[in-house]
Amino acid sequence: MTEALTKKIFLSIITICSLSVVAAIIIVTAILYVASAELAASEVRTDAKLIASAVEQSGGSYLETDGIADDVRVTWIGSDGQVLFDSEEEAAELENHADRKEILEAMKTGEGSSSRYSTTIMHKTANHAVRLSDGSVIRVLGVHTSLTAQLLKVLTPMLLTLAVLVLFSALAASKVSRNIVKPINGIDLAHPSNIKGYEELAPLLDKLRSQNIKVTRQMDEIQSRRERFALMTESMTEGLIIADPKLNVLTCNSGARRLLGAGSFTEGQSIYALNNSDVFRRCLINALGGRRSECILRTGDGQREVIASPANSIDMVCGLVVFIMDVTEKQELETMRREFTSNVSHELKTPLTTIYGTADILANGMVKQEDVAQFGGNIRSEAERLINLINDIVALSKLDEDSAPRENESVELYALAEEVLDRLKLSADEKGVTASVSGERVSLMGSRTILGEVMYNLCDNAIKYNVSGGKLEVKISHIPQRAIITVSDTGMGIPKEHIGRIFERFYRVDKSRSRKIKGTGLGLSIVKHGVMYHNGTVRVDSEAGRGTVFAVELPIEKKQ
Contact positions vs ligand ADP (CB under 6 A): 457, 461-462, 465, 489, 491-494, 502, 507-509, 514, 519-525, 548
Q: Which of the 8 DSSP states describes residue 235?
A: T
Q: Which is nearer to ligand ADP, 233 or 520 (CB)?
A: 520
Closest of 519, 507, 417 to residue 459, by C-alpha = 417
Strands 471-479 and 434-439 turn out to be parallel
Q: Supply the minimum distance, in Å, between the C-beta of residue 286 and ligand ADP.
A: 45
Q: Which is nearer to ligand ADP, 71 or 430 (CB)?
A: 430
Q: Which is nearer to ligand ADP, 100 or 528 (CB)?
A: 528
DSSP symbols for 69-111: TSSSEEEEE-TTS-EEEESSS-GGGSPP-TT-HHHHHHHHHSE
Q: Which is nearer to ligand ADP, 87 or 525 (CB)?
A: 525
42: helix, coil or strand? helix
Rounded Cα distance between 10 and 177, Å, is: 6
Q: Supply the minimum distance, in Å, between the C-beta of residue 537 and ligand ADP.
A: 17
Q: Which is nearer to ligand ADP, 21 or 502 (CB)?
A: 502
- DSSP lists the bridge partners of residue 113 as 128
Q: Which is nearer to ligand ADP, 157 or 432 (CB)?
A: 432
Rounded Cα distance between 62 and 342, Å, is: 155
Region class of 545: left (phi > 0), else alpha (psi between -120 and 50), else beta:
left
Q: Which is nearer to ligand ADP, 382 or 489 (CB)?
A: 489
Rounded Cα distance between 49 and 42, Å, is: 11
276: helix, coil or strand? coil
484: helix, coil or strand? strand
The 137-145 sheet, strands edge to edge: 83-86, 73-77, 137-145, 123-131, 111-117
DSSP symbols for 362-385: HHTT-S-GGGHHHHHHHHHHHHHH
Say if residues 306 and 259 touch (Cβ distance below 8 Å).
no
Q: Which is nearer to ligand ADP, 248 or 391 (CB)?
A: 391
Rounded Cα distance between 294 and 286, Å, is: 9
Q: Which of the 8 DSSP states describes residue 62?
A: G
Phi, psi dihedral angles at 268 (to 5 degrees): 105, -25
Q: Supply the minimum distance, in Å, between the C-beta of residue 417 and ligand ADP.
A: 16
Q: Supply the minimum distance, in Å, between the C-beta of residue 389 and ligand ADP.
A: 9
Q: Supply the minimum distance, in Å, between the C-beta of residue 455 and ligand ADP.
A: 13
Amino acid of residue 530? G
Q: Supply the minimum distance, in Å, between the C-beta of residue 287 and ligand ADP.
A: 46
Q: Supply the minimum distance, in Å, between the C-beta of residue 400 and ligand ADP.
A: 15
Q: Supply the minimum distance, in Å, between the C-beta of residue 493 and ligand ADP.
A: 6
Q: Which is nearer to ligand ADP, 337 or 515 (CB)?
A: 515
Q: Supply the minimum distance, in Å, between the C-beta of residue 333 and ligand ADP.
A: 19
Q: Supply the minimum distance, in Å, between the C-beta of residue 546 and ligand ADP.
A: 10
CA angle 422, 419, 404 (to 5 degrees): 125
Q: Which is nearer to ligand ADP, 184 or 484 (CB)?
A: 484
Say if residues 117 and 125 touch (Cβ distance below 8 Å).
yes
- Separation of CA 380 from chain center: 73
Q: Which is nearer to ligand ADP, 238 or 400 (CB)?
A: 400
Amino acid of residue 210? S
Three-state secondary structure string covering 16-41 = HHHHHHHHHHHHHHHHHHHHHHHHHH
Q: Supply the minimum distance, in Å, between the C-beta of residue 460 and ligand ADP.
A: 7
